A and B are shown apart, each in its own frame.
Chain A
Amino acid sequence: MSERVAVRKTYKLFIGGKFPRSESGRSYLVQDANVSLASRKDARDAVVAARAAVKGWAGATAYNRGQILYRAAEMLEGRREQFVALGVPGDEVDAAVDRWVWYAGWSDKLPQVYGGANPVAGPYFNLSSPEPTGVVAVVAPAAPALLGLVSVIAPAIVTGNTVVVAASPAAPLAAVTLAEVLATSDLPGGVVNILTGRLSETVPTLASHMDVNAIDLTGVADADLAADLEVKAAENLKRVLRPAPVDHDWFADPGITRMTALLETKTVWHPKGV
């Protein structure tokens, strides 16, 4: 009896909840798979999708966002073996699931921890609350392929931002597989968009895009490129998260700064009177 012929997976982009090929029709070979080589136009389309998703996602209740993120962790857990098959160590998948769960729980706690009433010297109600900044461009770290990716996506979206992620060119398969997890997690289309391909094609477009509110340069290893992207980001005063140090320990407690760096604080005043 001959061996069963496998059905291979096509690795595509993840934009607006759908899996399109690059509009450029190009691909590149990674781990024996053809992966889409995203173009500037794909980056543009991803920003449009991310922007369209902001209203619903930022407007969803924190409880609802937490539920959806937790659901994503469940899906991730279920696909553990797929990631292992891609070469992601089992303990890294476990850590990624745990991290996703950890961030899921923050959705309805961060506004309490990071916001609050301010005791102003006058007859006023005064409350500061964090709000998502909007569309965030994220350059994912090359390694660890899955944990690094989860560690930059989850903190950005749990508070209500939407993201356009430039996956590491060296590790796109984990990214596209994660997209499949997200696509089956009740996450609204457009909240997470993932581009594979060369950073040099997509990231400068994202850094200079005037409808992107923040950029996370975590995965940019080249210091000159990072500086150049930060200069581009200054054009509309994007919030910038600078590259992570090379020795960054992705397994350590991440703290809340990845979330707070992508938040705005809104302070509302109202007089107290009869």
Chain B
Amino acid sequence: MFEYAPAPESRSVVDIKPSYGLFIDGKFVDPTDGGSFKSINPASEEVLAEVAEGGAGDVDRAVRAARAAYEKVWGPMPGRDRAKYLFRIARIIQERSRELAVLESLDNGKPIKESRDVDLPLVAAHFFYYAGWADKLEHAGFGPNPRPLGVAAQVIPWNFPLLMLAWKIAPALAAGNTVVLKPAETTPLTALLFAEICQQADLPAGVVNIVTGAGETGRALVEHPGVDKVAFTGSTEVGRAIARAVAGTRKKLTLELGGKAANIVFDDAPIDQAVEGIVNGIFFNQGHVCCAGSRLLIQESVADRVLESLKRRMAQLRVGDPLDKNTDIGAINSAAQLARIRELSEAGSAEGAERWSPPCELPERGFWFAPTIFTGVTQAHRIAREEIFGPVLSVLTFRTPAEAVEKANNTPYGLSAGIWTDKGSRILWMADRLRAGVVWANTFNKFDPTSPFGGYKESGYGREGGRHGLEGYLNV
């Protein structure tokens, strides 16, 4: 047997402070209301730092700082100079990428190989991409004189903390807005390190403000009358509440919400790559991915074979210490999320689906869930309809392309979909009919700063990334 010895990435590369204030107007400040909460390492339940909990007064301070910076500095600044600040930030992120990656894995629980090889390169690339737009907005196709909106309120989730920050802040700043961003309460640390990077880049005070806190802080932010734009990534339930909250206001809204993507495998698929795509689709980032391929639709004629290959492949997945370079699946982000995954998985068993996980030893402390598939699932099962947001795959079968499309679209969500077949015309036929914002054909979970991302139906509206991503931050 070939046992891999532990290969941990050193955590000494990052210096976590015992406590963090709010980042308002270029400085770290104590919250007026004085609250705080702890951010823990989900792989060990160890407390990483004490983080300030922003109240309504703090949100107000941050919005005022952002407004002042918008009016006095960032708004009037020529695009080419805004670009230089964004390029500067992109460079610093590259220079400090290992530090950021380790911190992300500590705070979030995701494997270091993902934070190092996926999250951080994309974060830097995103800032580079939008930096280049800052002085070219009149060429972006939104008319001759596109204007920024003003102050953007941005609320981001815990699954890709720094990447979601980049998706929000980079286009906002490039378009000339200033921002107040609230990171998720379980993963605030990389956003706070990003605040230090803003300082290091000499970004003018107030252009970026980071207010940490939980749901109430987020609510205060999106409901603040001084914001002109609200951008949210997270659950459909909260997205709905935000859409109600901004109703009747001038605030422009973009929402990137949940998903229940179908990953469709035809009998002429490149099977080995399809299996990799299935694994990547649902087990990447512990399945904490809104566009995860959480419903596998296999053509009946190859179902047994694909499942056999999938199980064999799943047995190779290494679950454990997120900082071990060989870990494929890290820790579930929080106790609450783990409870939800367990609850839905139990519902899957109770409703008669057959559950399978590879033999897999889970650490004693921390939050863990073995990679799991359910077979014999039908569209009526809860696990085929509700977003689990964990490493749990529901397997269904189909007989014809039309049936695959029908099942794939039979959901209120519409974020992403996957198609696996060697037949080009079938790919295009399917892609035309799938009601999803991103369709991956013979690949899955690919992201790029130039490529717009976002959903149909209850997966939200607006696009992030690419030229399209500017639209949500311009007065067009």
Contact = CB atoms under 8 A, between A and B. Distances in A.
A213 B460 CA distance: 11
A30 interface: no
Interface stretch (B2-10, B110-118, B282-290, B448-456): B448-456
Interface stretch (B169-177, B241-249, B260-268): B241-249
Contacts of B439: 266-269
B412 interface: yes
Interface string A211-222: 001000000000
A236 B243 CA distance: 10
Given A128-B466, A237-B236, A265-B454, A231 B247 contact: yes
A121 B125 CA distance: 10
Interface in A230-274: 230-231, 233-237, 239-240, 255, 257, 260, 264-271
A213 B457 contact: yes
A33 interface: no
A128 B439 CA distance: 10
Contacts of B441: 268-270
A120 B450 contact: yes
Contact of A113 (B141, B255, B461, B471): B141
A122 interface: yes
B326 interface: no
Interface in B457-476: 457-458, 460-461, 463, 466-468, 471, 476
Interface in B406-447: 412, 427, 431, 434, 436-443, 446
A122 B437 CA distance: 20
Contacts of B257: 237
B18 interface: no
B182 to A, nearest CB: 20
A124 interface: yes
A114 B451 contact: no
Contact of A236 (B255, B448, B458): B458
B448 A118 contact: yes
Interface string A86-117: 00000000000000000000000000011010
A133 B240 CA distance: 18
Contact of B448 (A121, A133, A260): A121
B458 A237 contact: yes
Most buried by B among A114, A240, A268: A268
A237 B457 contact: yes
B359 interface: no
Contact of A237 (B255, B452, B476): B255
A118 B466 contact: yes
A118 B452 contact: yes
Contacts of A142: none
Nearest to A264: B456
Given A213-B457, A270-B442, A257 B476 contact: yes
Interface residues of B, number: 43
A93 to B, nearest CB: 28
Contacts of A25: none
B451 A231 contact: no
Given A230-B247, A269-B440, A270-B442, A126 B448 contact: yes
A265 B463 contact: yes
Contacts of A120: 446, 448, 450-451
A52 interface: no
A118 B104 CA distance: 29
Contacts of A269: 438-441, 443, 446, 451
Interface string B138-155: 000101000000000000
B248 A223 contact: yes
Interface in B211-246: 236, 239-241, 243-244
Contacts of B236: 237
B452 A265 contact: yes
A200 to B, nearest CB: 17
Contacts of A187: none
A264 B409 CA distance: 15
B431 A266 contact: yes
A260 B476 CA distance: 10
Given A122-B448, A236-B412, A237-B257, A267 B453 contact: yes
Nearest to A243: B248
Contact of B427 (A118, A266, A267, A270): A270
A248 to B, nearest CB: 15
A107 to B, nearest CB: 17
A253 B243 CA distance: 30
A266 B455 CA distance: 8
Given A266-B431, A270-B443, A271-B442, A224 B460 contact: no
Contacts of A237: 236, 239-240, 243, 255, 257, 457-458, 460-461
Interface string A14-43: 000000000000000000000000000000
Given A124-B443, A240-B247, 18 more contacts: A118-B452, A118-B466, A119-B450, A128-B466, A231-B244, A233-B247, A234-B240, A234-B247, A235-B240, A237-B458, A237-B461, A266-B431, A266-B439, A267-B438, A268-B438, A268-B439, A269-B446, A269-B451
Interface of B: 125, 141, 143, 236, 239-241, 243-244, 247-248, 255, 257, 412, 427, 431, 434, 436-443, 446, 448, 450-454, 456-458, 460-461, 463, 466-468, 471, 476
16 contacts: A118-B448, A118-B466, A122-B448, A126-B450, A128-B466, A128-B468, A227-B247, A228-B247, A230-B244, A233-B243, A236-B457, A257-B476, A266-B437, A267-B439, A270-B427, A270-B441
Per CB-CB distance, the 3 closest pairs between chain A and chain B, nearest first, are A227-B248, A230-B247, A234-B243
